[in-house]
A and B are shown apart, each in its own frame.
Chain A
C-alpha cells in the first residue's frame, strides 16, 4: 500500500517537473517597458515610442459584428495611425466577463498587459466599472480609458476624484439612435416599432428615448402620421448579450415583437440577433425589417432587410487618447464625442455614424438625409419640451431644451414608450 502511494507521488512529482522544465526555458515574451527609439506616427507627427503598446479588454468576442468588434477595429485603427502594428502592438483580451471567464480579474488582466508592455489600458464595457476602478487604483501610473461611465465627469453623479488615471470616452449615440428611429418610422407599414433593449440603466433609457424621439419626428413630419398611431415598445433582456438561463433569449423576444405586429425591430444589444432573426423571418416571407447597432458592418448579416446601422467608430477617440498618453498630456477626462456633422461617416473624425442599409428605399433615404441635415444644423432639436416621463411626470417644460446632464441621466423612458423601463423590472 505504501509503495503504491509512493509511486503515485513520484508520478505526480515527475509530471510537475516536466511542467516546470517547460516553464523555465522561456520568458522572452514577457519583457516590458518603453525605449527612447521612436518612429514617425505618420499622422499627427507625434514621436511614437517604437514599442508603444495598447491593451484592450473586450467584454465579448472581437468578431461579434457588434459592440466588441467595433472597439477592436477602433483600437486597430488607432494603433495603425500611430505607425504601429495591430498584430504586435495591440494586446487584446476577449470575453472579459465572469460568465465566460469565471477566474477573470480585471485588475490582474490590466497588470498582465502592463507586464507585456502595454502603455495604456482600454476597458470597453459598462459592465467593467468595478474592475476598472480597482485597476486604476492599483496601477495609478498607468493611463486607462473606460469606454463608458462618468467617473471622470466632474459634474457627474459618479465622479471619482481619486482616479486621476482613468478617463471616460463615449459617443453621442443619441443622434445615431434618433436617425435609427427615424429610419424605422419611415419604413414601417404596421406603425408598430420594437426596441430590443439590453439592461435598464440611464444609458440604455437614453438611447431608447432618442430612438423614440427620432421615430416620432419622422412619423409626423415625413409621413404626416398621427403621433398616437405610432407604437413603440421596448423589452429589455437583462444584459448586453444573451447569457443562457440568465437573460431573456433575444431570439424569442424578436419573435414576440414580430408576432405582436411590429415590422421593424431596433436593436440595442451588443450582438446582432435582431437583424439575423428578422432576416430569417423575412426569408420565410414575412415583411419585417431591422436596425442593428454598434458595428458599421452589422448590416452584412441580412442586407436586404437592414435599414441601416447607428455605429460607433472608436478609432478617432482611441487615437486621441493614445496620442495624449504619448505626449504626456493624458489626464482623467470625460469626453462625450459629438458626431462630425460635416460627415458623420468620416472614419477619421466622427466617433458616431449611421450606415444606410439596402432595406431603406431611395425616397426614404432622401428623407433620412434631410433629417440628418436638420440634426446637424441644429434646426431639429428633439430634446425640447414639452416632454414627459413614462409615468406622466414632467421631464421638460414647453420650450425647455435638455442639458447634457438631463439627457445622460435618463431616469425613465419617455411617455409614449411602451414596456418596463424601471430598474426593478419585476415592479
Chain B
C-alpha cells in the first residue's frame, strides 16, 4: 500500500523530470541552467535575498491572478462545469476596475476598495452570463464561455483605442496609466501588494472551507457529480450552477483588478495574461485541492517572471519558458493518468486474486 502511494507521486514526478530534461537537452542547454535562471529571475538566488524585492513582488503579483482564477475554477469544476469563459471574466473584472480607476475620485482606501468591488462585480456578471447561457439557453458552457472571452477581448480593444484612448494616440498598447490613488497599495521598490496576496489567501481558504465544511459546498459537489439525481433529491441545480459561475466570476474579476491596478497599472488588451487558461491547468494538476494551488500557481508565476532571463542569460529563446510550462503540464497529466491506470490495475488484480 505504501508503494502504491509512493508511486502516485514518484511516477508523475519521474515523467515530468524526464520530459523536461529531454526538452532542455534538445534545446541545446544544460538542463539545470534554465531552472536556475528562472528561480534567480523570479525570486532571486538565494531565494528572497536582499535586493530581490522587485522580482519577488512581480512573481507574487502574477501568483495572485493565477491562484485567484484557480480558486474560482475549483468551484465550477466541482459543479461539473468547464468554465473556459474565465478569461473573459478576468478581462471584465479588469474593465470594471479600470472604469472606476479612471472615472471615480475618492480617497485611496475607498477607491482601492471600489476598484476591487467593481472588478468582482464585473467578473461575476460575466460569469453569470455564461451560467445563464448554460442553464436557460442550453448553450454548452465551453462554447458560451469561449464566445464571451472573445467578446470581452474585443470590448477591451474597443475601449483602449476608442473612448479610453490616450491623448492623441489610438494604440492597442493600452490606456493611460491610472492615477496613483487607484493603484493597489504596494511595498516600496516592489509591486507586491499584501492586500492582493491577503485576498488571494482568503479566497483559497474560503474555497477549501466551502467544500470541506458547508452544506452549500456539499450540494454543489452533488450537482457536479450527478445533476439529475441532485435535482430529484430537491437541490435547485440551476441555481447552484449559477452560484458556482458567479463565485468563480467574482474571483476571476478580482484577478483582473489585480492585473490592471496592481501589475500593469493600466488597461491593456492582454490584461488577462492568459492566466485563466493557465489556471485550468493549475487546477487539473492540483486535482482541485486549494492547498496544492498555492505552490503550483507560484511555480507558474515564477516561470512567467523568470522566462525573459532565458534569453538574457542563456541566449535561449524566451518562449522556451512557455514550452517548458506546456511540457511540464502535459507530462504531469500523463504521469498522473499513468499512476491512476496502474492503481486501477492493481486494484483489479487484487480483487481477482481475493475471489
Contact = CB atoms under 8 A, between A and B. Distances in A.
A102 B312 CA distance: 16
A105 B6 CA distance: 40
Interface stretch (B165-173, B192-200, B204-212, B240-248): B165-173
B110 interface: no
Interface stretch (B67-75, B114-122, B132-140, B155-163): B155-163
Contact of A11 (B2, B10, B32, B270): B10
Interface in A8-24: 8, 11-12, 15, 19-20, 22-24
B157 to A, nearest CB: 5
Interface string A19-62: 11011111101100000000000000000000000000000000
B35 interface: yes
A103 B62 contact: yes
B308 A22 contact: no
A243 B312 contact: no
A328 interface: no
A422 B169 CA distance: 9
A415 interface: no
Given A103-B307, A200-B171, A425-B170, A116 B313 contact: yes
Nearest to B266: A130
A3 B312 contact: no
A370 B275 CA distance: 56
B171 A11 contact: no
Given A99-B269, A199-B171, A246-B269, A4 B307 contact: no
Interface size classification for chain B = 35 or more
A8 B165 CA distance: 50
B58 interface: yes
B169 A26 contact: no
B169 A199 contact: yes
A98 B275 CA distance: 13
A27 B170 contact: no
B39 A19 contact: yes
A138 B168 CA distance: 27
Given A15-B13, A116-B313, A246-B157, A101 B308 contact: yes
A340 interface: no
A426 B320 CA distance: 38
A239 B171 contact: yes
A239 B172 contact: yes
A271 to B, nearest CB: 15
Nearest to B173: A127
B41 interface: yes
A7 B157 contact: no
A411 B270 contact: no
Interface string A92-122: 1111101111111101110111001000000
A246 B156 CA distance: 9
Given A101-B318, A245-B150, A424 B308 contact: no
Given A99-B269, A101-B318, A108-B54, A238 B157 contact: yes
Nearest to A1: B5
Nearest to A128: B173
Contacts of B295: 12
B2 A424 contact: no
Contacts of B96: none
B278 to A, nearest CB: 9
A4 B5 CA distance: 6
Nearest to A424: B162
Given A30-B313, A245-B153, A102 B275 contact: yes
B170 A108 contact: no
Contacts of B40: 23, 30
Q: Which of B158, B172, B304 has the most CB of A within 10 A?
A: B172
A408 B41 CA distance: 39
A247 interface: yes
A283 B58 CA distance: 49
Contact of B172 (A29, A103, A243): A243
B35 A19 contact: yes
B253 to A, nearest CB: 18
Nearest to B176: A130
A23 B39 contact: yes
Contacts of A11: 9-10, 13
B309 to A, nearest CB: 6
A333 to B, nearest CB: 23
A333 B344 CA distance: 71
A423 interface: yes
A103 B308 CA distance: 9
A238 B172 contact: yes
Contacts of A20: 39, 47
A168 to B, nearest CB: 16
Contact of B311 (A23, A94, A424): A94
Contacts of B269: 99, 243, 246
A91 interface: yes
Interface in B216-262: none
Given A103-B308, A130-B266, A95 B173 contact: no
B80 interface: no
Given A8-B9, A103-B301, A108-B58, A424 B172 contact: no
Nearest to A201: B169
A24 B45 CA distance: 8
A236 interface: yes
Given A30-B313, A103-B273, A108-B58, A22 B35 contact: yes
B151 to A, nearest CB: 11
A249 interface: no
A202 interface: yes
Contacts of A409: 168
A71 B166 CA distance: 26
Interface of B: 2, 5-6, 8-10, 13, 32-33, 35-36, 39-41, 45, 47, 54-55, 58, 62, 150, 153-154, 157-158, 161-163, 165-174, 177, 189, 191, 264-266, 268-270, 273-275, 295, 301, 304-305, 307-309, 311-313, 318-319
Closest 4 CB pairs of A and B: A103-B304, A102-B273, A22-B32, A199-B171
